[in-house]
Amino acid sequence: MWPSKVTICEVGLRDGLQNEKKILSVEEKLQLLDMAVDSGVRIIEIGSFVHPKAVPQMADTDQVVQKMQKVDGVEYRALVANLKGVERAHAAGLSKVKLTVSASEAHCINNFNKTPVEMIEGFASCMEFISKNNMEVSGAISTSFGCPFQGKVPVEQVENAVRGFLKLGITELSLSDTTGMANPRQVYELGSYMVKAFPQVQWVLHFHNTRDMALANIAAGIEAGVRTFDGAFAGLGGCPFAPGASGNVATEDVVHMLHEMGIDTGINLLKAMDTARMAAKLVGHEAASAVLKAGRCEDITKEKVQHQSNK
């Protein structure tokens, strides 16, 4: 049975912009943030606190946090990789962070020179700071469905990362398809297993649309019992540390599909499309968004009815 409501997290300001050649100004980022909030999005990843040389597009996240107008009922979070990132987030005035690790040992060692277990063990100092400063935290497990270096990632490796986060007390976890290698059957099987094996976890799925399977994967994730998904306006994005990782699934495409299925998201689709158009304009290239190109199904129906009434 399909749910009546699904939650969409907007990650365009972080995962959407981190691989763009054009670096947006703080004011441009704030404009997109305000538009996303106005569209009805209630969970937003506003950036990341990582080394500016590694991801220069995120170097001004501190300023974005300090200057943004916080709206009641909206959750603002940022991605961090270590204690320094957590400290920067707190100093800027942000109360929620997301720690990330790769399920793939090859990906983790290639990017951080550490195994996933060593990465998670290193988060202990982060959790101590988070606890002392009354912050909130979630976790993300990248390459959960496949790795550009390792290929298929065994379920056991994903499960090891889950158990590591749980030991730290983190119960909101995202399974990320970093390079768009997931397929619907895999998503359903892994999602169903994780939902049943770890009922205490609030699960999130994060898909890239590298091979045009993201929407199908979201549908499979819903059938598996997951109710929260990430999306990025205009389908922007990609991981600078994962070869072949093209853009995220477009938020507006996800909203359009779910609304056509009779599933509420709380997001105004027309306003979400406006956000996507603005994002595409600011980065200077076309959006990877089907609904922006083809229009809403609802609009096509209205045009047909109007055409018939004019005969």
**Which residues form the catalytic set?**
239
CA 200 to chain centre: 21
Structure tokens at 60: 């001004």
Q: Round to whole Å and give the CA distance between 156 and 82.
A: 24
Buried b (16+ CB within 10 A) or exposed e, 120-140: bebbeebbeebeeeebebbbb
Among the listed residues 266, 179, 182, the one whose alpha carbon sits nearest the alpha carbon of residue 220? 182
Among the listed residues 122, 163, 125, 167, the one whose alpha carbon sits nearest the alpha carbon of residue 141? 163
Distances (CA, A) of 54 to 47, 51, 112, 167, 297: 14, 5, 12, 29, 41
Structure tokens at 291: 């609904």
Distances (CA, A) of 50 to 57, 105, 221, 225, 297: 10, 21, 30, 32, 40
Handedness of CA 210, 211, 212, 216 (dihedral sign): negative
Structure tokens at 87: 């400290």
Cα-Cα end-to-end distance for the chain: 41
Among the listed residues 75, 58, 56, 52, the one whose alpha carbon sits nearest the alpha carbon of residue 15? 58
Structure tokens at 247: 């853009």
136 forms beta bridges with 96
Residue ranges of the alpha helices (H) in the chain?
A: 26-39, 61-67, 83-92, 105-112, 116-121, 124-132, 155-168, 184-197, 214-224, 251-260, 269-283, 290-294, 297-309
